Structure 1
Amino acid sequence: MARGRAPGYDSQRETILARAAELFAMRGYAGTSMNEVAEACGLSKPALYHYFKDKYALLVNIAEGHVLRLEAVVDEVLDQQLPAQEHLGQLIRCFVEEYADAQHAHRVLTEDIRFLNDDDRERILERERRVVSAFSKVIRQIRPEIDDARMATPLTMLLFGMINWMFTWLKPDGELTYEAMATVVADLFFGGIPAVRLPIQPIQP
């Protein structure tokens, strides 16, 4: 009979991923050892290997876990069946709030994905593309004519530029909260998208 998992296994596993993400974000994946991860978690190295077979497994779980959570946010908002502008506004708010608690994992995803093998990297990038596509689809609904100019994806990436890098300058304990900044991002985008001048000639695919 297979031995069951000890109580608290999943909780300890999530703690390890959080500590590893923090170390990878600060020192880089290549600059962090399993000894350092174990020490940060208050575990022995053999105990750490009980949860993850190697440092690479930590990287895959951190990067893919982050994207999976973003996909879940997209699905939760989609299920609300909101009008297009409300839909995008809710996506913006939910993503900013998600990033508030996932700053380290997001940095790992953006900076250390190059260390993944081809199959793992492509699988995770495909999930990222689904997230971007969900935003792009709503933006096209808000301003349909951008479809002909092939500007939906560039506008989506500009929006992500505001959201993705907020963690590099916004202090969690500062006067500005993530909730307040989510409203600012939405206001900037909704105020700016009507003013975007589309290229006279469609952008070639």
Structure 2
Amino acid sequence: MARGRASNYEEQRDMILRQAATLFARYGYPSTSMNQVAEACSLSKATLYHYYRDKYSLLVSIADGHVSRLAALIDDEQALALHGEARLRHLINRIVEEYADAQNAHRVLTEDVKFLEAEDRERVLAKERHVVAGFAEAVTEMRAGQPSTHLSKPLTMLLFGMINWMFTWMKPDGELDHAAMGPIVADLFLGGISQVRLPPTS
């Protein structure tokens, strides 16, 4: 008779992914072992394999899970039917706040996607392209009627340049958290440096 899943099976899987993402982000995917993941999770290696068959399956789950949440965010925003500046600001705030709890997963997605097999890598990259397209559409709407509309894609990539590398310098105990940084990024992107304002203090 097959053993049923524990009631906390999904919670354990999520915990393992978080610990693995922390290790991959700190040491890199190639330099992290399943022994290290098991130790970080306070699990035996045999128990770890009950949840994930190998290290590669952890990498796929981290990268695909993170980018899937970002893609779902784009779909959610489209359903809100916001327009113009309100749409772009809301998108920026949402994605910056999403990164707040996913800095390790985002580093893994950024630096370790090259270790994915071709089929998995293409699936992840397709979802990344969906995210970029959602932002590019919002940027294009902001530039409606202006010349050089072909600048929408480069402008979108410059925006992601600000957002995607925040994990390299933002500290968990810093003066500004991700909730505060979202409006700052939007102010800088939409109005230039002279339009940036500090968030109100609580």
What is the aligned partner in structure 2 of residue 199 from structure 1? none
In the alignment, structure 1 residue 78 sits paired with structure 2 residue 60: no
How far the C-alpha of 1:105 sits from its partner, in A, is: 0.2
For residue 149 of structure 1, report the CA deviation from its aligned partner: 4.4
TM-score by length of 2: 0.91
RMSD over equivalenced CA pairs, Å? 1.4
Letter in 2 for 1:163: I
> Which residue of 2 is the match for residue 99 of structure 1?
99
Contact 2:143/2:149, CA 8 A, preserved across alignment: no
Equivalent in the alignment of 2:113: 113
Matched, 1:60 2:60: yes
Letter aligned with residue 34 of structure 2: M
Instruction: After TM superposition, give the deviation of residue 145 of structure 1 in Å.
Output: 4.7
| Contact 2:107 2:167 (8 Å CA) reproduced | no
Shift of 1:7: 0.5
User: C-alpha separation between the residues in 1 aligned to 2:146 and 2:2?
Assistant: 57
- Distance in 1 separating the partners of 2:116 and 2:60: 7
Aligned length: 192
Q: For the Cα contact (< 8 Å) 1:68–1:127, is it kept in 2? A: yes
SS at 1:122 equivalent:
helix
Question: Which residue does 2:163 correspond to in 1?
Answer: 163
Correspondence 1:134 to 2:134? yes
Output one character per residue of 1:88-108: Cα deviation in whole Å (capped at 9) or x when no partner. 111100111110100000000
| Alpha carbons of structure 1 residues 31 and 131: separation in structure 2 relative to 1, 3 Å | same
Letter in 1 for 2:75: D
Gapped runs of 5+ residues in structure 1?
Answer: 193-205
Aligned residue for 1:144, secondary structure, equals: coil
Query: 1:156 and 1:146, CA in 2 relative to 1: closer, same or farther beyond 3 A?
Result: farther
Give the whole-Å Cα distance in 2 for the aligned partners of 1:62 and 1:150: 33
Structure 1 CA distance for aligned equivalents of residues 25 and 37 of structure 2: 12
Q: How far apart are residue 177 of structure 1 and its match? A: 1.7
Provide runs of 4+ in structure 1 moved above 2 Å: 1-4, 144-149
